[in-house]
Amino acid sequence: MFDIVIAGGTLIDGTGGPSATGDLAISGERIAAIGDLAGAEAKTRIPAAGLAVAPGFIDLHTHSDFTLAANGRAESQVHQGVTTEVVGQCGVSCAPARSLRDVEVMAPGYVAGAVDIGWRGFGEYLDHLDGMPLGVNVAAFVGHGTIHRAVLGDARRPADEDELEEMAGLLEQSLDEGAYGFSTGLEYWPGSLATPDQVAALCRVAAKKDVLYATHVRNRDVFYDLGFTEALACARDSGARLQISHIQPKFGAPAHAMAHTIEMLDQARRYGVDVACDVIPHDWSHTRVTAILPQWALEGGVERIAERMQDAEARARIKRNPRPMWRLVSAGIWDRIVLMRSDANADLVGLTFEEIGRRRGVDPYDAVFDLILEEGPEMNHLMWTSQSFQDADIRLALAEAECAVISDTLALAPYGCLKHQIGSLSGYGWAARFLQHYVRDGGVLTLEEAVRRLTALPASRLGLTDRGTLTPGHFADVTVFDAEAIASHCTVAEPRRYASGIAHVLVNGQPAFRDGVRTETDAGRVLRRGA
């Protein structure tokens, strides 16, 4: 007797191959059988006629490192069919750390007082997650920036040879303790301090352990080709498997940048580089507000930044910076930049900086400085979003067979300690928007191929051999949805609205979402490399 039979659904197995009507049986944690199981006995039968039955969606790039440690139910993800998350991206992770302050500064989505932070090493961080009820499975990468801070603290300089050796040792230790990969954020401090030689040296550790190297490249606007070339060169030199994160170019890049980037990846593959990419299915970009500041303005940590925010001459010098992280800023296009998270000014969240400046009677750039100052010691958690991407570039990236689809956001819940948090404008609906906007309405991909981008492709890049497809013996991570009704409802004004069209979600054979309603079951687990 099977535990569960999902009956009469359209089976989309994750490989990209043709779908077929049939039944799927689950025994314990695993898929037990697929086919015509009308005569089979089962403790529970879930009717799925007219619905797509797919592997659970795998989000290859998230920043839920801290939010899962605070509330592991991952409501925003489970509600749209996600069963596995990969945290520790863009060079930031919750571990390793020398001190509590390291975690507070580096942890994505940090909320003061939400977690008793008892970890320092990477394995200890994974142990904390293991002790949480998890709505999704979690694989964690270790971030270059976090390792840099663990060795160099607040130093605004590249590591010397001895420090680089220590960083490499911490990376290898973290991988041995269960980290699934290594990531860099070369557009941010402290990743921006690292030289290509240093990145390649750390990538050699990733290659030695045969884990994925994921990078937020140094530039995706004016000098986009330099950013992508550096990533490819480091992978070529080190032998590491490369994942280029959220590959779409930003405002300021030439019109041909996406096509040129794809050509560069194709050429690198011909010369033996193992490279793939992923894309956010949305034209909005998000980051920390302090990321707009030049390196000299970040020197000395939050206390010195606060002093500069009060200094008229320092403000004027920052405004003259010709190369801010977002070229929308230097172009003065403030009506396409929106405040996304502020603890000190929650009433301004959702407004453009043009509106904030007008409301306060100041230049929008000065409004930025004022908000940073008013956030105080938690200024690094002040977030904004901008309409930086082009829909045509996203479509062009999706035409590439090795392009996965990601959220680049946080697992959240609209209650408890995370109720005021927001990771991106599509955080509660990224997967639904992909299937709605680009697949059903836009016809960019078939539904079968779209499911592959969310399941088997990310599983393959990670090296997960028993998840990502509907295969007997694989873990029973399953998402059942209405392909004609799935939709995202996130807007700038209301970013915390759940997606619709998801019927059932099973994680390791247990229903996390049943008949459109979240259950009390949290059967997710920490996935440790080598376990």
Model confidence over 150-164: pLDDT tens digits?
999 988 889 999 999
Q: Is 341 found in the same domain as 450?
A: no
End residue of a domain, out of 361, 386, 411: 386
Whether residue 258 is contained in a domain is answered as yes
Are 412 and 333 part of one and the same domain? no
Could you read off the pLDDT of 317-328 as tens digits, one per residue? 999 988 888 899
- Distance of alpha carbon 132 from alpha carbon 139, whole angstroms: 14
CB 25 within 8 A of CB 40: yes
Asked if 291 and 322 sit in the same domain, the reply is yes
Smallest Cα–Cα separation from 461: which of 404, 394, 524?
404
Q: Is the same domain home to 179 and 278?
A: yes
- The CA distances from residue 164 to 35, 169, 353, 408, in Å, are 54, 9, 40, 28
Residue 1 pLDDT exceeds 80? yes
Asked whether the predicted pLDDT for residue 493 surpasses 80, the reply is no
Quick check: 492 pLDDT over 90? no
Does residue 393 share a domain with residue 374?
A: no
Given this model, what pLDDT does residue 287 score?
85
Distance CA 209, CA 187 (A): 25
pTM: predicted TM-score of the whole model, two decimal places: 0.94
Q: Is residue 12 part of a domain?
A: no
How many percent of the chain have pLDDT more than 70?
Answer: 100
- Tell which residue, 218, 363, 396, has the closest CA to residue 291: 218
Mean pLDDT of all residues in 165-177: 98
Question: How many Å apart are CA 234 and CA 246, to the nearest integer?
Answer: 18
Strand pairing of 181-185 and 137-143? parallel
Q: Do β-strands 510-514 and 502-507 pair in parallel, antiparallel, or remain unpaired?
A: antiparallel
Backbone angles phi, psi at 363, to 5 degrees: -60, 140
- Indicate whether 450 belongs to any domain: yes
Question: Mean pLDDT of all residues in the chain?
Answer: 95
Mean pLDDT of 448-466: 98
The domain tally of the chain equals 2
The answer to whether residue 52 is domain-embedded is no
Contact 106, 91 (CB under 8 A): no
User: Which of 282-286, 461-465, 471-475 shows the lowest mean pLDDT across its residues?
Assistant: 282-286
Residues 369 and 248 in one domain: no
381 pLDDT above the threshold of 90: no
> Could you identify the residue written with the tokens 């990771």?
423
Task: For residue 491, report the phi and psi dihedrals to the nearest 5 degrees.
Answer: -135, 170
Contact between 279 and 246 under an 8 Å Cβ cutoff? The reply is yes
Q: Mind listing the pLDDT tens digit for each residue in 92-103?
A: 999 999 999 999
- Residue numbers of the domain that contains 414: 57-284+389-513
Tens-place pLDDT, residues 287-318? 889 988 998 898 888 899 999 999 999 999 99
Of 386, 406, 428, which residue is a domain's last?
A: 386
Integer Cα distance of 294 and 368 in angstroms: 14
CB 529, CB 175: distance < 8 Å: yes
Residues 6+ apart with CB under 8 A from 529: 139, 175, 178, 179, 180, 209, 211, 463
Instruction: Indicate whether 431 and 335 sit together in one domain.
Output: no
Q: 1 in a domain, yes or no?
A: no
Rounded-to-integer distance, Cα 341 and Cα 247, Å: 24
Are the beta carbons of 4 and 514 closer than 8 angstroms? no
Same domain, 63 and 130: yes
Provide the pLDDT for residue 154: 83
Mean pLDDT of 503-509: 98
pLDDT at 380: 84
- 112: confidence class by pLDDT, cuts 50, 70, 90: confident
The last residue of one of the domains, among 368, 386, 404, is 386
- Do 381 and 393 lie in a common domain? no
Same domain, 356 and 394: no
Task: Give me the pLDDT at residue 54, please.
Answer: 99
Q: Same domain for 262 and 407?
A: yes
Query: Own/partner pairs for 480-483, CB < 8 Å, 24+ apart?
Result: 480/6, 480/9, 480/46, 480/48, 480/51, 480/52, 480/53, 480/54, 480/504, 480/505, 481/51, 481/52, 481/54, 481/81, 481/435, 482/50, 482/51, 482/52, 483/10, 483/51, 483/52, 483/435, 483/440, 483/447
So what's the pLDDT on residue 531? Answer: 81
184 lies in the same domain as 219: yes
In a domain, 445, yes or no: yes
Top mean pLDDT of 62-71, 320-329, 422-431 is at: 62-71
**pLDDT digits over 218-266, tens only?**
999 999 999 999 999 999 999 999 999 999 999 999 999 999 999 999 9
Q: What is the CATH number of the domain that holds 150?
A: 3.20.20.140
